[in-house]
Amino acid sequence: MTANPSDATTNHRKNAGCGLILALIVLVAIGVVITLIGAVAFFGAFNREKAKVEPKTALRLQISGPLNELATTDPSSLLFQGQPGVSYFDVLAAIRRAKTDDRISGIYLNSGDLRCGFAKAIEIRETLLDFKSSGKFIHAYIEFGDELDYLIASTADTLSMAPEGLIDLNGFAVSTLFWRGALDKIGVDIFVDQHEDYKSAAETISRTDFSRPARESIRELLLQRYTFLIDAIANSRNRPAVEVKIALEEGIYTSQGMLEHGLIDRIESKQSVLNRIAAQVDLEKPRLVNVGVYLNSRSGMKGETVNRDHEIALVIGSGTIISGDSGDLEPFSTGMLSSGSLIRSLRQARDNDRVSAIILRIDSPGGSVLASDEIWQELVEIRKDKPIFASMSDLAASGGYYIALACDTLIAHPATLTGSIGVISVIPNFSKLISKMGISADTIKTSPSSDFLDPFLPFTESDKSKFSSIGRKTYLNFVDKVADARELPFDRARELAKGRVWSGADAYSKGLVDTLGGLWTAIEMTKDYLGIPPEEKVRIRFYPEPESAFTMLMKLLTLNMQNPVMQNSSLSDPVRQIWAFLTEAERRQFAYLLQLVHLSRSERLLWALPESLSFDW
């Protein structure tokens, strides 16, 4: 058979024509999506500007999913809610404002699957308890959740659960995978040099279980949180602490179990709760307002004054610290704190003449030594012009604590995880692995150290000693920074270091931070420093600025699958297979580990908390 060139040309033209038509269809579809979502975003923004909150309205506080320091940038919220997501600051601000707003009669709290740290959850709880002092009601409804959700919901006057509701109320645990046995089987040796005892997260690849120092440190953190949870529940539900402890040890998972233990008031539908809210304020239907709409509404507080002389910059430093502006860190770029971006925000705050003081909000496990020190140097210079208050969120460890040291005042929440002043050096050796495969390695060198730490040659004691000395110098420099900033003798600073993770409460008692409190404590302290009366409002200017609706809209057009790990074609099949069998807490740890591995390709030294201490709530 012979091919007819004209047929091939015709087919080619047909394929090209079909491709052109398909491309046009796709473009039209994208245009329609842009128009629809743009209209939703536009009119949503317009309505927010004109929003008016009627009397007898209840603030709808729906807290679920990740609660970030900056407003969530999930663009789908524009399509389904007509507004961007809300930040942790938004939640606190809305509750505090509603306390004295005559239009707000109470709060309808619907919490479930909240994903944040203990510090954020406790500050929300404390803010709700303060709200109740106004005499206004809080009615809470839980469909599913865990300890964090219940910790917040237990502040309510009445707490209800769905008939088929589920809750995981059984205490705290830290679960970690240890890979030493698997590495031994394939012949991979891992040389781990830790400075010092408590900087033990690399034990996941060097041991088969927790070491004594690691177990001691983590258990102390768990017990602190467990004790707080029991006491908080006992106080809110007016139950003896011993009864609450027994219930948690038994484990509660159903709404019926919660009712039997006196931990909820009713088992009912959501509509029943809403009907009760309406009846309480003599309405046929409840009036509810979401946090985002409420914060953008006209103020209903009489006599409210705003200071015109000062503004406070709230600079957000959240994520694993990396050098540069962004870096090629997909698909794990979410949750990365780049030194270039943070420094740019700090400089913008310094150069703004209306900004009188800066709050650096830190929520970071650390990261690159070079990037951390670059930020530290910049903070030292900026504080010469304007005061800087460091507000520690859920986590300010390793490099996160390092950059806080450059600020004028360090404020940690009692439940903040901080410290982790130490260094881990890790390097693999594959000499046994290649030997098992029948492969040998040889080398020709010009000097004794030319093959230093060649991963295919057995490490010598001289190699290990030299490698350890590099990490030791970095560690001692860290300790020296702590001693200088906290005005401690070097030996005392080193005693408090050793890689140990401290709670904010312990860090305060040992002189590693100046005071205890949450984000609002930092704001009030800054106001006091500037001479602003407590009852007077002050404008908070965010850096970086929240993303516009248009930016979020463009992101919607480039959305990938919801799970960033599963969508990355560059990840190997074994990684995908491992991921499929991990729990949510283990997935967060695993993703963070891959972040550090990826980061280590361009960074030689890290001040990081290598294991993100994900508590199983």
Q: Which domains does the chain have, with CATH numbers?
A: 22-170+251-302 (3.90.226.10), 306-421+487-546+582-616 (3.90.226.10)
Spatial CB neighbours of 242, under 8 Å, sequence gap ≥ 6: none
* Cis preceding linkage at 216, omega within 30: no
Tell me the pLDDT band of 328, cut-offs 50, 70 and 90: very low
Helices (H), 352-444: 369-382, 399-404, 431-436
Does residue 326 have a pLDDT over 90?
Answer: no
The per-residue pLDDT for range 252-278, each reduced to its tens digit, is: 899 999 999 999 999 999 999 999 999
Torsion of CA 456, 457, 459, 460, to 10 degrees: -170
Tell me the pLDDT band of 188, cut-offs 50, 70 and 90: very high
Spatial CB neighbours of 199, under 8 Å, sequence gap ≥ 6: 420, 422, 423, 424, 498, 499, 500
Tell me the pLDDT band of 528, cut-offs 50, 70 and 90: very high
Tell me the pLDDT band of 52, cut-offs 50, 70 and 90: confident
* Cis preceding linkage at 55, omega within 30: no
Does residue 15 have a pLDDT over 60?
Answer: no
Mean pLDDT of 389-404: 96
DSSP state for residue 599 in the 8-state scheme: H
Mean pLDDT of 362-383: 94
Q: What is the pLDDT of residue 217?
A: 92
